[in-house]
Amino acid sequence: MCGSISLDETQPADHHDIEHLLDLSFGSGRHARTSYRLREGSAAVPGLSLVVRDPGVQLSGTISFWPLRIGVAETPALLLGPLAVHPDRQNLGVGRALMKEGLARAKAMGHRLVILVGDEPYYARAGFKRSPTGLLTMPGPVDPARLLYLELVPGALDGVSGMVQGPAS
């Protein structure tokens, strides 16, 4: 990655630029997706929403992590996403840098398990694996091949199963 790119915590003033970047990356229909519905009514985990700024593009990347609970035991987990990189800045390591820093921060904060809905070949480079069939259930339609997890602590998925939900109301 170029030395002129800096990674920062998201600021309230970034909201408009992040929304524009997410529209560029995922389209305006993104709010109907199951992973978006899991975020409704909650806030991203403080310290885990990051952006990459680049002099050539006002905002070249963004990532957030959201609180979840899984199953009747309400096992805590994080939902990674959205992760977006400006089309002009893709394949330069921006997304990889955001993931690496976000996951390191999540682990340092004591989080144990992260899930996401995404492309396995891309996220596998960061250690994500496909969730075993039937182990985790999403509250809406999701291609099972795209439901991925990462244990920040070995064994964090052991004994975890059931419906993935947003934080308790």
Tell me the pLDDT of the chain (169 aa) as tens digits.
445 457 899 999 898 888 888 888 877 766 557 776 788 888 999 999 999 987 755 789 999 999 999 999 999 999 998 999 999 889 989 999 999 999 999 999 999 999 999 999 999 999 999 999 999 999 999 999 999 999 999 999 999 999 999 986 5
Dist. CA 114–CA 152, nearest whole Å: 7
CA atoms within 13 A on the CB side of 73: 10
Residue 56 pLDDT: 58
d(CA 140, CA 148): 15
Separation CA 141–CA 147 (nearest Å): 11
Instruction: State the pLDDT at residue 29.
Output: 67
Query: How many angstroms separate the CA atoms of 64 and 102, rounded?
Result: 8
In a 3-state reduction of DSSP, which class is residue 16? helix
- Owner of token pair 């998201």: 10
- Determine the pLDDT at residue 57: 59
Task: Give the C-alpha separation, 150 to 69, whole Å.
Answer: 15
Cα separation of 132 and 149, whole Å?
9
pTM of the model: 0.90
What is the rounded distance in angstroms from the CA atom of residue 142 to the CA atom of residue 123?
A: 16
Mention every residue, 6+ apart, whose C-beta is less than 8 A from residue 53.
Answer: 5, 6, 8, 59, 60
Q: What is the DSSP letter of 93?
A: S
Residue 2's pLDDT is 44
Cis omega (within 30 of 0) on the bond before 82? yes
SS3 95: helix
